[in-house]
């Protein structure tokens, strides 16, 4: 298998395989926050996020959400379908937290009546600004029907995973998704689903079980990631 690297992000790498339509997605141990300003290494994070993402993608595929996931091939790698990635970060929110609390003045923990879907431009140099739909069209990122489909899928991800996390004793507060287009121009979920890219609170105590532990120095990040994996019944990683 070829393993030429074609992309390195803050938490993952993408490598070529012998099949031009298939990539290897490798989860790194690095964690960053505040657009890379804060950075640290956590031994085992890559393996844990690979396992949690695999679990989530399998649940989503079973629910009819098209994803790039093919299979988990080892501790830190999964095979994925190659997509033409859409330069948007799509955030779904069930509970007010993070930037939504800052932007609206609502208290963290306020329940959002209907889950909302937000669109941010994936541009580190601009600090990922929030976009209205008119800007998505103005920038020629997606057609209206594609944006509509993407939002529908984002809500379906929420409707699928929220009860699964709830049964595991966690509230899915919010999360970020990235989508791509396949060869037929169909919108497909890419990237990852992990505690790096979501907020998960203990249902009873509201203890944070996600990357906010790193962002705000609240404790041992790997301890909470292992707890998420254990609660989901994903094999504990060492
Ligand atoms: P926010 O409240 O900071 O806008 O974050 C909303 C959700 O998106 C939260 O679950 C964390 C996730 N997120 C990312 O995965 N990457 C990012 O760059 C940002 C800003 C947020």
Question: Which pLDDT band, with edges at 50, 70 and 90, does 3 fall under?
Answer: confident
User: What backbone phi and psi angles, to 5 degrees, belong to 19?
Assistant: -100, 120
Provide the β-strand partners of residue 33.
38
Report pLDDT for 212.
98
Out of 27, 174, 177, mutate this one to test ligand 1's pocket (max ligand atoms within 8 Å of CB): namely 174
237 pocket-lining for ligand 1 (C-beta < 6 Å): no
- Are the CB atoms for 112 and 103 separated by under 8 Å? no
% of the chain at pLDDT higher than 90: 96
Is residue 231's pLDDT more than 80?
yes
* 112, 94 contact by CB (below 8 A): yes
pTM: 0.97
Going by alpha carbons, the residue nearest to atom 8 of ligand 1 is 176
99 lines ligand 1 (CB under 6 A): yes
| DSSP three-state, residue 153 | helix
The answer to whether the CB of 94 is under 6 A from ligand 1 is: no
> What gap in Å lies between CA 82 and CA 165, rounded to an integer?
28
Reply yes or no on whether the pLDDT at 235 is more than 80. no
CA distance 180 to 190: 6
| 2, pLDDT greater than 80 | no
Number of separate helices (H) and strands (E) present in the chain: 6, 15
- The percentage of the chain sitting over the pLDDT mark of 70, rounded to a whole number, equals 98
pLDDT at 238 over 90: no
Q: Which two tokens stand for residue 166?
A: 């709830």
| Mean pLDDT, all residues of the chain | 97
Ligand 1 contacts CB of residue 146 (under 6 A): no
């Amino acid at each position: 298998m070829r393993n030429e690297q074609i992309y390195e992000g803050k938490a993952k790498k993408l490598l070529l395989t012998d099949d031009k339509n298939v990539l290897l997605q490798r989860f790194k141990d690095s964690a960053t926050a505040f657009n890379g300003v804060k950075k640290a290494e956590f031994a085992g994070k890559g393996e844990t996020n690979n396992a949690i993402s695999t679990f989530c993608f399998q649940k989503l595929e079973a629910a009819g959400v098209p994803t790039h996931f093919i299979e988990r091939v080892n501790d830190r790698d999964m095979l994925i379908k190659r997509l033409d990635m859409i330069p948007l970060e799509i955030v779904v929110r069930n509970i007010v937290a993070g930037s939504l609390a800052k932007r609206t003045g609502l208290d963290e923990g306020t329940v959002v009546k209907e889950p909302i879907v937000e669109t941010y431009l994936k541009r580190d140099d601009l600090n990922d600004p929030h976009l209205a739909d008119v800007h998505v069209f103005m920038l020629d990122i997606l057609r209206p029907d594609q944006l509509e489909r993407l939002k529908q899928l984002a809500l379906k991800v929420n409707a699928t995973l929220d009860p699964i996390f709830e049964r595991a004793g966690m509230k899915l507060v919010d999360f970020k998704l990235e989508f791509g287009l396949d060869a037929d121009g169909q919108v497909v979920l890419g990237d990852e689903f992990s505690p790096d890219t979501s907020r998960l609170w203990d249902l009873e105590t509201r203890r944070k079980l996600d990357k906010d532990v790193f962002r705000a120095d609240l404790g041992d990040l790997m301890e909470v990631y292992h707890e998420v994996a254990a609660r989901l019944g994903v094999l504990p990683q060492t």
